[in-house]
A and B are shown apart, each in its own frame.
Chain A
Amino acid sequence: MNHSMKEVPGIGLKSSEMYSLIGLLEDRPKARYDFSAGPTVSKFLLGLKEGKILGKKCPRCGRIFVPPRSYCEWCHVATSEWVEVPQTGIIHTAVVSYISAKRQRLEKPEVVGIVRLDVPGYKDKEYEFAGLFHRICIDPKLVVTGEAIGMRVKVRWKPKEERKASILDIECFEPIG
């Protein structure tokens, strides 16, 4: 029992005492799944292993999807042309988390963000763009001060021999220069 709980009036229950309540059962699903990547995402992941970021272009509206999709969600047609995109871009938005999903304080705050890649043909006024959600290797303070937003970043790859055709082949995005 932590300190703040002691201040609450009443009687604290231990876990064993709680489960002595009639009808209170604990159960958990044995839920395990495979998730096929499909041909498009597979090729993207293999590209990461080779140190490339691949996107796929919609033949109708010209949008380049990174990460790639088999279809353009806006035109509902199959994407066609593969393009290798630059490994640089700007931080569109970023966040510092000081707590875990269970809202416990983390020892080291995490920075994750959305990187808008330098993809040719990207329309400036559009809200959708070729980009990746990933870890950002910067001082969390830069997010708090707002300096992180718009900062130019590039991919920091894992060493080649450690890459496994996974999104984790990218270690993070780090500032340029």
Chain B
Amino acid sequence: MSRVAIVGAGYYGFKPQTIDLSFQDLMFESSSRAYASIDPRKDIDAFVDCQEDMWEGIAIADEFAPEPIGGALRPTFTVAGDGLQGIAHAYMMIKSGYFDVVAVESHGKPSEIKTLQDIYRFALDPQYIRPLEPGNPLFYAGLDAVAYIKRNNVKREHLAMVAVKNKNNGLRNERASFSTKITLDEVLDSRFSIYPMSKYEIAPFSDASITFVLSSEENVRKFTDTPVWIDGIGFSTETGSGATQWHEFGRMKSMREASKMAYRVAGLDGNVDKYVDFAEVEDRFSFMEPLTVEEVMLAKEGEAHKMLEKGDFCFNGYKPINPSGGSLSMGVQLEATGLARLLEAYLQLINKAGMHQLKGVSKALVATWRGVPTYSSVVALLSA
């Protein structure tokens, strides 16, 4: 069966506001850049879009997907999920042999959602959770954070260290609108927003569109000399917000299952640590970074925060985690957030990360979660 590679990527935005462009304009700008050496009307066999109606403010928003990305009157469909789930679909389509080249687009324009908290509220169970009026729906992250730090004896300082690392990493990344030169004391001295996290440990929102083009191995050289191979990809959803109390708080089992699937697809039998040079992982809440590192088995259980403390995950560390600055620096682009992580890993692997380019990296892990109040995760393994 053909291997699958990323042969093009484009993006537009990564700003807190993009009032100058419509969402269709954003999609066109990012897809145009992804298609720099590709004619989407001839070369691309199918188009996958990732978005969700309530974020878009448009019912049946998938009907708006084809046109701006070159998919009109071509096989196009929408995945109501994170962009990395769209990548998994494209991967499977190419593996099926029915499609050679597939484009995946996702975008988020949270700046235009005037009642964002209420849209979050509407994701909660109408019978059990909404009547309790839990205030900020981000409470889910707090429940997981508290359970995680208790289980692993993690200190509040460790979560602050994630913010310091990622906020400073982002200073070298032009897409990191929320990077800032902050110190550990400054984070520790700031007030809690959701215990045990301050505002520095909760990623803000930003607007962006991101497009990728995937190709079968046979066609790769038509488009690029620097393909990035998707060696494995996996996805999983736990019980979800439909059954809040059944989620295993303090863990992210969907992340564990997604990583196991990705490793199985990649044919890796353990020793993942050796395979991966660096990782772009979920960090929209600070605690999610060490937890994700453990769930994808890049660290042994209860060890991630110790490695963080030792500096292993720093830009020049043993295993750089989120050298881009992660979501804490780049923001959350709703369903495009997973593609933001993938974009950063891709740019590193083709040696185009610019000021935050790592030296001598050829293998990466990308892990994303769909954010509160979901328990859906996707993990991908990439190689140059």
Q: A-side interface residues toward B, CB under 8 Å? A: 23, 25, 27, 29-41, 69-71, 73-76, 78
> Does residue B130 face the partner (Cβ distance < 8 Å to A)?
yes
Closest beta carbon of chain A to B208's beta carbon, Å = 14
A residues near B130, Cβ cutoff 8 Å: 27
Task: Evaluate contact between B115 and A35: CB separation under 8 angstroms.
Answer: no
Taking CB as reference atom, which chain A residue is nearest B17? A36
* Chain B 35-60: CB-based contact to A (< 8 A → 1; otherwise 0): 10001110000000000001001000
Q: From the candidates B21, B31, B32, B57, name the one contacting A33 in the complex (CB within 8 A).
A: B57
Interface size on B, residues (CB 8 A): 37
Interface segment out of the listed B65-73, B238-246, B348-356: B65-73
B residues near A74, Cβ cutoff 8 Å: 41, 72
A residues near B41, Cβ cutoff 8 Å: 74-76
Task: Evaluate contact between B28 and A29: CB separation under 8 angstroms.
Answer: no
Q: How far is the CA of A78 from the CA of B35 in the complex (A)?
A: 13
Q: How far is the CA of A70 from the CA of B30 in the complex (A)?
A: 13
Task: Evaluate contact between B114 and A33: CB separation under 8 angstroms.
Answer: yes
A residues near B39, Cβ cutoff 8 Å: 76
Task: Evaluate contact between A29 and B118: CB separation under 8 angstroms.
Answer: yes
B residues near A36, Cβ cutoff 8 Å: 18-23, 109, 112
Task: Evaluate contact between B32 and A76: CB separation under 8 angstroms.
Answer: yes
Q: B-side interface residues toward A, CB under 8 Å? A: 18-25, 28, 31-32, 35, 39-41, 54, 57, 66-70, 72, 109, 111-115, 118-119, 121-122, 126-127, 130-131
Task: Evaluate contact between A73 and B22: CB separation under 8 angstroms.
Answer: no
Q: How far is the CA of A30 from the CA of B21 in the complex (A)?
A: 25
Q: How far is the CA of A71 from the CA of B39 in the complex (A)?
A: 14
A-B pairs with beta carbons under 8 Å apart, 12 shown: A30-B118, A30-B121, A32-B115, A33-B57, A33-B113, A37-B22, A38-B22, A39-B25, A71-B68, A73-B67, A76-B69, A78-B28
Task: Evaluate contact between A35 and B112: CB separation under 8 angstroms.
Answer: yes
Task: Evaluate contact between B28 and A70: CB separation under 8 angstroms.
Answer: yes
Q: How far is the CA of A71 from the CA of B24 in the complex (A)?
A: 9
Closest beta carbon of chain A to B213's beta carbon, Å = 13
Task: Evaluate contact between B28 and A31: CB separation under 8 angstroms.
Answer: no
Q: How far is the CA of A35 from the CA of B18 in the complex (A)?
A: 11
Inter-chain pairs besides A27-B126, A70-B22, A71-B68, 19 sampled, C-beta below 8 Å:
A25-B127, A25-B131, A27-B122, A27-B130, A29-B54, A32-B113, A32-B114, A33-B57, A36-B20, A38-B21, A38-B25, A39-B25, A40-B25, A70-B24, A73-B70, A75-B41, A76-B32, A76-B40, A78-B28
The interface centre, meaning the residue of A27, A38, A40, A74 with most chain B CB atoms within 10 A of its CB, is A38
Closest beta carbon of chain B to A116's beta carbon, Å = 20
B residues near A76, Cβ cutoff 8 Å: 28, 31-32, 35, 39-41, 69-70
Q: How far is the CA of A29 from the CA of B40 in the complex (A)?
A: 38
